[in-house]
Amino acid sequence: MSIKFKKSTGGELKFAGKADATGTVHIPAGTKQQKWTDTIKILSPGLMIGYRERPGETYPTTAQRELLLNAASSAREIMRTAVREMDRVVFFRRAEGQPFTNIMNYHFGLATGRSPGLPATNVVDKSFSLGDLGKTDRRWALNKIREGMLSISFHLNTGMYLIDIDNAKRTLKSGMAGTSNATEEGYATWAGWGGLDKGVLSAWRNGEIHVGIEMMHGGGYSAEHFARVIIHEAAHKYLGVTDKLYCWQGGYDALPFTDCVDNADSYAWAALSLNRGALLKGVNSKDGTPHVGNIA
């Protein structure tokens, strides 16, 4: 699709402030943030991207746009599958099956001994009893996870706007001068103040989803693993969850349930795993090795 227009707030110098002795630019109160990106393009009915044009270059390249389109549709598909899997167990009360149990036990802290106090009972495939209604049992925990997955799925399937981080060239981040970390996969500025980061205002108050288009394409990310970055950032934006630990960090496999449901990587890698039908531990950014063996 070829609809294209310049962002009205674009232009790096439009609201440029004066740098102080430390080189920090202070933007006068009331002015709009400086933006690095200057162009918005609709790549498909479900995907709009923001980026900074590179004069004399086709950017993003055709291959980079292909990857973006594939990653966006992959993210949507992964989340729909994840919700279907959660529904299968939570609503239709089918047996979890070992892959599902492994994924929940590992990524959401439901393994034996992982969650002191929560949930109060943690029996897999416990038969239904009226007395369990309102109890903090395993089904209650799974439903909490399902609610998060459903929200991410709803928003990503409604349409997504992805802003390029532009690691290689960017000299502004969040309206301030200074280059960003040159190896960022993605980020969504988290508005951890005033209580506005969660609840109905979360998506509006938290920043847009930013992804390193050129870096991930050049780094050989598959559509699935690019999608994982989108899902991780969507968890920040739409659920307002934080980063307790990334999957590749020590201690991740000991996080309790209460931390896991407030951790973006838990949702992202659990969703990828549910879509694969096997536990992916996420030990690196492109982990695709299914875990064999049971996690009880």
The residues of the shown chain that bind Zn ion, judged by CB under 5 A, are 243, 264
State the residue number with the nearest CB to Zn ion: 243
- CA 180, chain centre distance (Å): 19
Residue 250 CB, shortest distance to Zn ion, in Å, is 17
Residue 287 CB, shortest distance to Zn ion, in Å, is 17
DSSP letter at 191 equals: -
Q: Say how far apart CA 64 and CA 47 lie, in whole Å.
A: 14
* Residue whose CB is less far from Zn ion, 106 or 267: 267
Tokens 């409604």 — which residue? 158
At residue 176, the 3 state secondary structure works out as strand
Residue 226 CB, shortest distance to Zn ion, in Å, is 15
Residue 243 CB, shortest distance to Zn ion, in Å, is 4
* Residue whose CB is less far from Zn ion, 146 or 244: 244
Assign 3-class secondary structure to 22-74.
Answer: CCCECCCCCCCCCCCCCEEEEEECCEEEEECCCCCCCCCCHHHHHHHHHHHHH
* Residue whose CB is less far from Zn ion, 217 or 232: 232
* Residue whose CB is less far from Zn ion, 102 or 167: 167
Residue 189 CB, shortest distance to Zn ion, in Å, is 11
Q: Say how far apart CA 296 and CA 294 lie, in whole Å.
A: 6
Tokens 């307002």 — which residue? 240
* Residue whose CB is less far from Zn ion, 172 or 239: 239
